[in-house]
Structure 1
Amino acid sequence: MSGLDPDELTRLRVDLARIARGLDRHSRGSELTRTQVSVLGTVVVRGPIGMGELATIEGLNPTMLSRLTGKLEAAGLLVRDADPADRRAVRVAATEAGTAEHGRQREERARLLARHVDGLPEHHVDGLRAALPALDALATSLRDPR
């Protein structure tokens, strides 16, 4: 059993979802969905990446990922090509426009978070700072496909 009781786990899940939705609502200047933003970010950060690895990281089935990357490619944010190590495999890379869009979104979300965090009482800011290692560990644990 976890160190949090069921009510605390529910609060954590709901609060994290509300934060994510609030960031989406107030910072998505483009027409990208949350999943498209995530895929684009992974490709920008990881560099050219195989579709199989990208599907695993993003937790998406290959068909859904193919549709998403097709839309991002049509928008000029990604390019797909054959993997030089295995011509049968497909990999994706960010375009200059994709990298710029990712950077724009990161900056916009950082400014939005900073504005709201700066408006909190200092003891809440200290609590958020103290919680960062635990949130990092939780995010890493949830990202692990096992």
Structure 2
Amino acid sequence: MVSTEYDEDEVTRLKIALARIARLVDRQVSGDGMTRTQLSVLGTVARLGPLRLGALAETEGLNPTMLSRVVGKLEADGLLERSTDPGDRRAARVRVTEAGEQLHRRLRGERTRLFTGALARLPAPEAQALRSALPAIESLARESAQQSARPGPVTAGHGRP
């Protein structure tokens, strides 16, 4: 069995490092003034293709009201298009527009260049350590997303009860 006890300093260092990276990327790749949530929704729809709003809300971990506002803003900016789901006329779907796809590709390219440059400046052992850690980082991201989607309060340091 894997121990669930983690050194608080290491957890704090990981949290700070990930947050710092996210802030730096957000500052350097602005997304034309879009919020992080808007960028994430646009990226999800661009990657996964047309989605029902319910599936998008679940993927993004957003409540339907918040998602509706975000989609409305992206739609008003001509980046997403909302339509009735042909399989269920009561449900709505969203798809990325050509302008949204172009913006997504440009921002993804800028972020990729930013990370590629930073990785190239690392000493080889540290770069290899990051490659080796990718599966664990991806698992952490998945678990964090699943945890945030579960109902109930988060308890300090212990996830949800």
TM-score (normalised: structure 2): 0.86
Distance (Å, rounded) in 2 between the aligned partners of 1:122 and 1:35:
34
RCO higher in 1 or 2 (8 Å CA, sep ≥ 6)?
Answer: 1
Aligned Cα root-mean-square deviation (Å):
1.3
Partner letter of residue 76 of structure 2?
A
Which residue in 1 is equivalent to 2:101? 99
* Cα distance per residue 1:58-116 (max 9 Å; x no partner): 11111110010010001110000111111111110000111111111110000011111
* Structure 2 residue ranges without an equivalent (≥5): 151-161
Distance (Å, rounded) in 2 between the aligned partners of 1:4 and 1:133:
19
Give the 4+ runs in structure 1 shifted more than 6 A.
none
Superposed, 1:1-146 pairs within 5 Å as: 2=4, 4-144=6-146, 145-146=149-150
User: What displacement does 1:26 show?
Assistant: 0.6
Same amino acid, percent of matched pairs: 54
Distance (Å, rounded) in 2 between the aligned partners of 1:100 and 1:76:
11
Corresponding pairs, count = 146
TM-score (normalised: structure 1): 0.94
Partner letter of residue 37 of structure 2?
T
Tell me the SS of whatever aligns to 1:60.
Answer: coil
User: What displacement does 1:29 show?
Assistant: 4.3
Tell me the SS of whatever aligns to 1:97.
Answer: helix
User: What displacement does 1:143 show?
Assistant: 2.2
